[in-house]
Amino acid sequence: MVLTKRAKGNLLKLFLLYVYFGIVVVVGLCLKLNFLQFAFAFFGIPSIYFAVNLKGYGKKIEIEATILGFFMVFVFDLIAHSSNSWYVPGVLGMRVLGKFPIDEFVFAFFYLFAIFTLYGTFFDKSKIKKISKSFKKLVYFGSFLLLLVLILHTVSPQLLEVPYFYLFMIMIFLITTAVGFACYPKIAGKISLLSTYLFLPAIAYELVALELGHWYFEKGYHIGYVNILNYSFPLEELFFFPLAVTSILVLHEAFGDNKR
C-alpha cells in the first residue's frame, strides 16, 4: 500500500508526539511537576497545538470536553473516592463535598480535550464544526446522574460506597463502547486506532503519577494489581486506558458529532 503525502505527514507527527510524551516524562520527573503541571504539559500543550488548526471544530470539542468532563468527574470521582477506588491529593487545596479535589475538573478537561483533538486531527475525516442537537440528551442524562449522586450523598452517603467500583466503571465503559460500535460500525476502526495509540503514553503517565504522588491506590479494593518497575496499580487500569478513550469518543460521535 502506497501512503499519500498527507498520510506520511500524519505518521511523522504521531511519531514526534510519542517523542514529546517521552520528553515530558523526563522533564516531569526531573522537575517533580505537580498534578496540574504535569497534566498540562502532557495533555494540554499538544491539545492546544493541534486545536489551532481545527478552527471551528476546536471550539466545539472545547465545549464538549468541559461539559462531559464536569459530569464524569462529579459522578465517577465522587463514588470512586467514597469507595476507596483511588485517591487524588490535589494541589489547589479544595475538595468537592469533602471527597475529591477540584483539580480533577481541570485534569479531565486536559485529558478529554487531548483525546478529541487527536481524534479530529488524525483519525476523524467526517467531523462537523457544530455540536449536534443530540448533545442536549447527554447533558440531560448527566444532570440526572449528578442530581442522583448528590441526593444519595445527602440522604445516605454509604450508598455511594460501592465494592469494586473501579470494575463497575470499567463495565460501564465496555458496554458504552460495545453498543456504540454495534450501532455505528463506521466509527469503530478509527476510534480503536486512537485508543491503541494512546495505550503506551497512558502507561507512562501512570508510572510518573505514582512516582510523583499525583494519586494513590489503596490495596484491597480492586480485582488485582499490576507491578511494573516496582510500581503497583490496579489491574483495572489496563482496561481503563483503552476503554476510557473508546467510550468517550463513542459519546462524542453519538451525541456531539455525526456518527460517521
pLDDT tens, per residue, the chain with 260 residues: 556 777 888 999 999 999 999 999 999 999 999 999 999 999 999 999 999 889 888 899 999 999 999 999 999 999 999 999 999 999 999 999 999 999 999 999 999 999 999 999 999 988 888 899 999 999 999 999 999 999 999 999 999 999 999 999 999 999 999 999 999 999 999 999 999 999 999 999 999 999 999 999 999 999 999 999 989 999 999 999 999 999 999 999 999 999 98
**Are residues 141 and 235 both part of a single domain?**
yes
d(CA 99, CA 45) in angstroms, rounded, equals: 29
What count of residues does the chain have?
260
Strand partners, 95: 101
Spatial distance between the Cα atoms of 236 and 259, rounded to a whole number of angstroms: 28
What letter would DSSP give residue 133?
A: T
Q: Are both 27 and 58 inside the same structural domain?
A: no
Residue 48 covered by a domain: no
* 73 domain residue, yes or no: yes
**85 and 1 both lie in a single domain:** no
| Same domain for 171 and 206 | yes
DSSP summary character for residue 156: -
Say whether both 184 and 131 belong to one domain: yes
Say whether both 208 and 153 belong to one domain.
yes
Tell me the C-alpha distance between 135 and 240, whole Å: 24
Q: Spell out where the chain has E strands.
A: 95-96, 100-101, 225-228, 231-234
Residue 251 grid coordinates: 459519546
- The domain in which residue 14 lies consists of 1-32
Q: Three cell numbers at 198?
A: 494512546
Radius of gyration of the chain (CA): 18
CA dihedral (136, 137, 138, 140) positive or negative: positive
Q: Is residue 79 part of a domain?
A: yes
Examine the domain organization and report whether 118 and 25 are in the same domain.
no
Q: Are residues 5 and 95 in the same domain?
A: no
d(CA 123, CA 53): 14
Domain identity same for 132 and 180: yes
Give domain status of residue 176, yes or no. yes
If one counts the domains in the chain, the total is: 2
Does residue 120 share a domain with residue 25? no
